[in-house]
Chain A
Amino acid sequence: MQSLKIKNLECNRNGRSIFTGISFDVTPGRILLLSGKNGSGKTSLLRILAGLMPPKAGSIVWGDKKFTDKRDRELFSPLYIGHSNPVKLGLTVRENLIFWAKIFGHGLNVDAALEQFGIRNHSELPASYLSEGQKRRLTLARLALDQPVSTLPSLWLLDEPAWGLDPEAVKTLSNLAIDHVKNQGMVIISTHGNNLDELLALNSDRYSLTENNC
């Protein structure tokens, strides 16, 4: 089974060293919870894994391929959800999700996904009407879409996905994450230790960033 191996990752932003010497493995079937104080580098780590920024040093190896600088988009394209919600306020809720589904080649079971996150009844409203929490749900609804099938297990990188969510939506999110890893997917979630952690406790491992600050 191909696992993701991260070795000695170092991150530098604006001349400041954010972290050094990060190493861990992620195996399909388990969720990895990243924890650490504010400023410890969780977001930077996830962004590096997503390919949004290059690490200063270290290696990322998936199966037998090394992905550090050039990302082969065909082989390694994680689903990354960051802090902000890429919601276009001028489009309706439904149009937003369809847009992302088409851009990424996800399945078009948009209504089912909206239903899972409890915003189906808003689907024809312009997204500007949504509250912040509802926008978060809309962003996460992408996770409920059918994913394209590929040879490598699919990696989800979620940066504080439960931020602003009420307990009901957190439960939906945790179910989705658990289902994903049960289907041999991989999930890395950065968390602050809220009820999402408890819901995922049985299926997850932890990696704490506090000891690796520079």
Chain B
Amino acid sequence: MLNRIGLLIIKDVKLALQGASDTGMTFVFLLLACTLFQFSIGPDQTLLIKVGGGVIWVVALLATILSLERLFITDFEDGTLEQYFLSPMSLVFFALAKAISHWLTTGLLVIISAPIIALLYSLPNEVFLPLFLSMVIGTPILSLIGTLGAALTLGAKRSGVLMPLIILPLYIPVLIFGTLVIYNVMYGHNYNSFLIVLIGLLLLSLALAPWATACALRQAIE
């Protein structure tokens, strides 16, 4: 079973890296979106520092959603998804593998860009470690829930805006606790409890999301 999961992940990552321009484009998007915020808010340093944490997380959410569009589409259209269903491997593991590959191709990118964006927003040095930690715990949650959203909207007409509409409300807790970590650091408070909550959310999503995703995929196949 683990072999097969590993196989799937390697295949997906390989394919994603071949479309390396895709990965590069996501990175550019992250920076571009931050720039947009800067332009709209203005160069007021103190204001930017205040909103920096929030901006990083919102931009991370948006980038994650953008890359979720294509998650299952090719597999669904060329019959690969059916074959996975027929294989000895359970769809739950397939869903988990897909979430992991999504994280490896998008989540890691977000984690890498976060410090860069923090620099652009002149966030204080103490922020970097908690930011990194919150991202490391938070981005897998985004991938897990996002995979569920992609599976639910598979084959829907006009799925473009539908998926964000469904997923974003579910992302709100992650967003809130992720940014609370940053804000607490900036106000000099302890942020451990928020990290623990995030870990709890991660465990919850690990338990529920692949299973619900498999359910949704089965609906799509029928």
Contact = CB atoms under 8 A, between A and B. Distances in A.
A189 interface: no
Contact of A52 (B4, B15, B78, B222): B222
A94 to B, nearest CB: 13
B77 interface: yes
Contacts of A104: 87-88
Interface in A80-131: 80, 82-88, 90-91, 99-100, 102-105
B89 interface: yes
Contacts, number: 59
Contact of A83 (B79, B87, B89): B79
Interface in B83-129: 83-89
Interface residues of B, number: 23
Contact of B84 (A53, A90, A91, A103): A103
13 contacts: A50-B86, A51-B85, A53-B222, A73-B88, A86-B82, A88-B80, A90-B18, A91-B11, A91-B15, A99-B11, A102-B4, A103-B7, A103-B87
Rank and list the top 4 A-B pairs by shortest CB-CB distance, nearest first: A84-B79, A86-B80, A90-B15, A86-B79
Interface of A: 50-54, 73, 77-78, 80, 82-88, 90-91, 99-100, 102-105
Given A85-B78, A87-B78, A99-B7, 20 more contacts: A50-B86, A51-B85, A52-B82, A52-B222, A53-B222, A80-B86, A83-B79, A84-B78, A85-B79, A88-B80, A90-B15, A91-B11, A102-B4, A102-B7, A103-B4, A103-B83, A103-B87, A103-B89, A104-B88, A105-B88
